[in-house]
Amino acid sequence: MATAAVSTPVKSHTGLFSSRTAGGRMPLTPSPRQRTSTAVDSSPFTPDKQSKSIYNGNLASHFARSSTHRDSPKSNIARGVSTPRKALELGVSDFALTGTGLAKTPSSAKSKKGSLRHKANKTTLTYAADRFIPNRGASSAIANVGSSKLDFGENKRPKSNGNEGSSVLASATDDAISALEGLSLNDDETTSYSRPSPNTVAYQDSLANACGVNLNTRILQFKPAPPESSKPIDLRQQYNRPLKPANSSAQLRRRIATAPERVLDAPGLIDDYYLNLLDWSSGNQVAIGLERNVYVWSADEGNVSCLLETSPDTYISSVKWSGDGAYVGVGLGTGEVQIWDVAEGIKVRSMFGHDTRVGVMGWNKHILSTGARSGLVFNHDVRIAEHKVAELVSHTSEVCGLEWRSDGAQLATGGNDNLVSIWDARSLAVPKFTKTNHKAAVKALAWCPWNMNLLATGGGSYDRHIHFWNSTSGARVNSIDTGSQVTSLRWSPHYREIVSSSGFPDNSLSIWSYPTLVRNVEIPAHESRVLHSCLSPDGQMLATAAADESLKFWKIFEKKAGASSSSSSSGSSGKGEMTKQMSIR
């Protein structure tokens, strides 16, 4: 079956598109010219002469421009029924492209003879069309001509009678003729076309079903429409959305300062992981041991005073404030333990018993616990002359971590032997639990303020983990791999968070949520490893001391609005209460 070649409209020398149209291609706009009637007995696809048949030779040759006609430069490019130019007779009538005005052309009998017939029994519908945007109503009939698979005979001519499909073909041709005759370039003019016959509609439907084409789709749609959303669009969810992820709680969206509030020099700070040389009292005073001296800095007044200076044969190995903030315990490299009255600036008493340096201390009311390099832990009752009341034996190496629970019922100790021992204050003969999960020295110990049975422990550079223990059952409930040496741990009294200070390689501060164990923020704190940390009595400020000989203060746990503060009142009256309750000999 021969396929007609398709030619696009060509430019005429006047700058407008010519009226010649390719087979099956829709012209730009309908013609306002009067339609002509076709002969009843003529076939729609029969040309004037056999030699001029469009089915002989190249179809494009019949669309060629006539060499015998020359347009005037000011012609309207209007072609009527009597145009001298050869008209395309592929089942269509002459039509015109209207320019600036009407052109008068002589009548042509030949053109009338070849014009096609109209069907009188068709209903005419009127609609407005755009000249550049195709629409299915105007082009459906033309598309049928190109897609109807014409039934050609042996002589390359269409079968017009006595064959199957002839009536469908003739009906489709009539629809195409009617659509082409109603085309015009005038946008304001209404366009009319003939309603397709039932045979054409049936053929369209069957052809569309066979090709899988929906006749109601847009012509210039190159891809299917995107799927509709199954959920309604609510923009309020966008402009009400917080900057942080949805799973972040309100406390994580608070502002955490990453710069220190204050920086003080700490010359002579010993770079030793196993010592504890920094503590903050309930009276808002900071004590720090620098080689042979202990200095006290008042956070309220901002002044610094030297509390003591040791002999040249020893050094300061640990400092610890009493619960009321009136006294400070000082451990020396010789194993001596001294107690100083800060307000008076005098030494109250000295206690002996350790043969090696005392690297860590902890107060529980009138009991002062001290841990030494030998691995022994002594409990001293500072009210009596025979101060040593208990000896705790568990560690085989230096004790570098020691922390009493707030109610005084349990004591936790950590040592360079990688052990964590949890002691019951009522029975100190043996530890209640001994944990061996750490792979390095355990210096960082911290009891949770809102859950007394929760203990956090941090390991050294070969461990780099924080473990959380249930001190009642001895079970490990959580763990964090910090990726750095853990030198200290401090729980926040205002938030369910814990801050860890890091040594090698990060030298930073990390704030972790509990129990999610999500790192909320990491602050690059010092140039060298952070050795010590302590919280202010109101729980808002964290002080850190590092091997770079600097003391920095960070406001990382700013108190929530409306929270009550009782630390200042207790700190102001603590000394008097302790004096009444006990006397230090």
Bridge partners of residue 171, in order along the sequence: none
Q: Where are the domains of the chain?
A: 50-211, 257-559+567-581
Please give the pLDDT value at position 578: 43
Residue 248 CA to its chain's centroid (Å)? 13
User: Mind giving me the DSSP string for 266-325?
Assistant: -TT----TT-B-EEE-TTSEEEEEETTEEEEEETTT--EEEEEE--TT--EEEEEE-TTS
For residue 210, CA distances in Å to 101, 141, 142 come to: 46, 18, 19
User: Omega into 224 within 30° of 0, i.e. cis?
Assistant: no
Contacts of 420 (CB under 8 A, 6+ apart): 412, 413, 414, 433, 434, 435, 437, 438, 442, 445, 457, 467, 469
- Pairwise CA distance, residues 363 & 286, whole Å: 16
Q: Which two tokens stand for residue 395?
A: 């560690």
Please give the pLDDT value at position 197: 84
Please give the pLDDT value at position 400: 97
What do you get for the CA distance between the two ends of the chain, in Å?
123
User: Mind giving me the DSSP string for 345-387?
Assistant: TEEEEEE---SS-EEEEEEETTEEEEEETTSEEEEEETTSSS-
Helix (H) / strand (E) containing 11: none
Pairing mode of beta strands 550-555, 420-424: unpaired
Please give the pLDDT value at position 183: 58
3-class SS of residue 252:
helix
3-class SS of residue 264:
strand
Phi then psi dihedrals of residue 210, to 5 deg: -70, -35
Q: Which two tokens stand for residue 238?
A: 């966008």
Long-range contacts, 292-297 (Cβ 8 Å, 24+): 292/316, 293/268, 294/319, 294/328, 294/330, 294/340, 296/328, 296/342, 297/264
- Pairwise CA distance, residues 585 & 576, whole Å: 17
Long-range contacts, 405-410 (Cβ 8 Å, 24+): 405/447, 405/452, 405/471, 406/447, 406/449, 406/452, 407/452, 408/364, 408/365, 409/452, 410/471
pTM over 0.75: no
Please give the pLDDT value at position 520: 92
Which CATH number fits the domain 257-559+567-581, given the four candidates 1.25.40.10, 3.40.50.2000, 2.130.10.10, 2.40.50.100? 2.130.10.10
For residue 121, CA distances in Å to 94, 124, 193, 195, 510 come to: 22, 10, 13, 10, 89
Question: Could you list the pLDDT tens digit for every one of the 585 residues in the chain?
Answer: 444 444 444 444 444 444 444 444 444 445 444 444 444 444 445 444 444 444 455 544 544 444 444 554 444 444 444 444 444 444 444 444 444 444 444 444 444 444 444 444 545 555 455 555 555 555 555 555 444 444 444 444 444 455 555 665 666 667 667 666 655 555 555 555 577 788 888 888 888 888 877 777 666 666 666 666 565 655 554 455 555 554 445 444 678 889 999 999 999 999 999 999 999 999 999 999 999 999 999 999 999 999 999 999 999 999 999 999 999 999 999 999 999 999 999 999 999 999 999 999 999 999 999 999 999 999 999 999 999 999 999 999 999 999 999 999 999 999 999 999 999 999 999 999 999 999 999 999 999 999 999 999 999 999 999 999 999 999 999 999 999 999 999 999 889 999 999 998 999 999 999 999 999 999 999 999 999 999 999 999 999 999 999 999 999 998 876 655 444 333 333 344 444 345 676
